[in-house]
Amino acid sequence: MDPRLSLNQITTKSWSLPEAVAGCAEAGVGWIGLWRDKVAETGVDEAARLLKEHGVRVSSLCRGGFFTGVTPEGSPVDGVAQTREAIDEAAALGTDVLVLVVGGIAGNDLAASRQRVADAVGELAPYAGERGVRLGLEPLHPMQCAERSVLSTVDQALAIAVEHPAEQVGVIVDEFHVWWDPRIEESIAAAAGRIAGFHVCDVLVPLPDPLLGRALPGDGPIDHRRLRAAVEAAGYSGPIEVEVFNADLWARPGQDVLAETITAFERYVA
Amino acid sequence: MDPRLSLNQITTKSWSLPEAVAGCAEAGVGWIGLWRDKVAETGVDEAARLLKEHGVRVSSLCRGGFFTGVTPEGSPVDGVAQTREAIDEAAALGTDVLVLVVGGIAGNDLAASRQRVADAVGELAPYAGERGVRLGLEPLHPMQCAERSVLSTVDQALAIAVEHPAEQVGVIVDEFHVWWDPRIEESIAAAAGRIAGFHVCDVLVPLPDPLLGRALPGDGPIDHRRLRAAVEAAGYSGPIEVEVFNADLWARPGQDVLAETITAFERYVA
């Protein structure tokens, strides 16, 4: 098995954190991407203990962000305060990457919303750096611009990241969000030394839904080897997370989903 | 009323072409954007006669394209042949703009699909020019990349357009498709002299569906005056189409929808 495969635990959503960690260990998957809500169910200390016991490392923690002050549901949120907590949590879990979903448009002002994101990153970057955590700015697909992320492209995320030391702020390349971008290969090349994570999945055609339209690699039109080659040419050699939001997969036993994830990864990504 | 307002007839989908033309004339709207399926129901000659009788001009005809050889449903299609017919139809209807939806990804090869689009435009541009019709390359939202359009940005459309005389190939700026683009203002400025149409609407938040998530201007986060100013600074002074795909609007009488369209345009765009 490719030792760089990491299971983003959203892919096996029916599993609790202890089940997902044990499942990875049993299947020989050495990395896992964690979500804060799942960590909270188990508790940070117990999660850290389980990870150590099973010899599974954390590729990233999802997620901080929401710096524009509103949740996807439109409620107010203090994204900076929550992200400080998430930085501490990432450090406690032994991962050096915190994924950021920066937040959607506030007050119908796209330029001002983007400025709030840049300001928040400036405020948090030194805090993250002191704790050995790198902020991973993840551009989300433009269909999520209004609700979740006013950062839509790798270029845009990189423009914010380069204002800070490389060990404090990087960018996450997630295939679902950026595969369509006509500039993606140049953008990834420009992000050399700044790539903090590479997430793979496929896109369902026809796209059924803005959020759940993902599939395992191979079940859609994304050219995974081309994007992996671009990311590696830019110097990224870290874990590769398989991150799939898909209601059908979520309804199935975690063990079966992980087995299929491994097969899909070997066949289309490795 | 702003004399540049044009009703794209998809907005009043419940109306036939004769109803839409008469409705525009009655409401004092001097422009209409037509769709080929609606034109076919009435017949091209009868449609042209009705337009003349009512003094309504055609801002554009939707649509040619599908040059990658597959329909959104995945059936084979000869997009070049169909677009030749659409060019003739546009000329017969007295419009100088044919909107192109270029087609989605074929054979899971994004680069090759984009090349097929560029090749088809090269083949058709002189034919369109001889008939006084300009091909309007419309980038569609990235969520429609796989099924409908491997052109996702104004930059990308412009790169193809500039290979041909400006009177033969231009680009269409549709707010729904490009509002999120961090480069949109520079892209529009770069497209000076190449803008063949400006389409306005809003985006629903949360986005319910990849196709029908549109609303009348003012019912979402798009800053219409900012985009209109950018398009005008780039020299575009033609009709502005209101084009809304929205199941609730479609279920309502055309007359009511047109009245609301006029109000929304005056309030948020004019």
User: Tell me, what's the ipTM?
Assistant: 0.96
Q: For Cα atoms A212, A213, A216, give the angle at the middle one, nearest 5 degrees.
A: 100
Give the model's confidence band at B1: pLDDT under 50 very low, under 70 low, under 90 confident, else very high: confident
**Binary contact (B207, A146; C-beta < 8 A):** yes
Strands A202-203 and A214-215, how do they pair? antiparallel
Structure tokens at B231: 């398009």
In angstroms, the separation between the Cα of residue B213 and the nearest Cα of chain A is 10
The CATH number that applies at residue A145 is: 3.20.20.150
pLDDT over threshold 90, residue B262: yes
What burial class does residue B237 get, using C-beta atoms within 10 Å of its C-beta: 0-12 exposed, 13-18 middle, 19+ buried? exposed
Return mean pLDDT, chain A.
97
Among B105, B181, B210, select the one facing A143 at the smallest CB separation.
Answer: B210
Helices B154-161 and B110-130 cross at an angle (nearest 10°) of 50
**Binary contact (A206, B156; C-beta < 8 A):** no
Give the model's confidence band at B210: pLDDT under 50 very low, under 70 low, under 90 confident, else very high: confident
Give the model's confidence band at B209: pLDDT under 50 very low, under 70 low, under 90 confident, else very high: confident
Instruction: Choose, out of A75, A114, A143, A224, the residue to mutate when testing the contact with B (most B CBs < 10 Å).
Output: A143
Query: Closest Cα partner for B268 from B225, B226, B220, B205?
Result: B225
Residue % of chain B over a pLDDT of 90: 98
Averaged pLDDT, A224-248: 98
Residue % of chain A over a pLDDT of 70: 100
Query: Closest Cα partner for A187 from A148, A241, A139, A144?
Result: A139
Give the pLDDT confidence score for residue B256 in this predicted structure: 98
- State which amino acid sits at residue A222: I
CA of residue B47 relative to chain centroid, distance: 19
Give the model's confidence band at A1: pLDDT under 50 very low, under 70 low, under 90 confident, else very high: confident
Q: B55 is in which domain, residue-wise? A: 5-268
d(Cα B116, Cα B211) in Å, to the nearest integer? 24
B-chain residues near A142 (CB < 8 A): 141-143, 180-181
Averaged pLDDT, B168-190: 98
- Check: CB of residue B111 under 8 Å from CB of residue B74: no
d(Cα A191, Cα A172) in Å, to the nearest integer? 10
**Binary contact (A210, B142; C-beta < 8 A):** no
Residue with token string 């150590």: A52
pLDDT over threshold 90, residue B120: yes
In angstroms, the separation between the Cα of residue A186 and the nearest Cα of chain B is 14
Give the model's confidence band at A58: pLDDT under 50 very low, under 70 low, under 90 confident, else very high: very high
Based on the structure, what is the number of domains in chain B? Answer: 1
- State which amino acid sits at residue A151: L
d(Cα B31, Cα B20) in Å, to the nearest integer? 11
- Check: CB of residue B99 under 8 Å from CB of residue B10: no
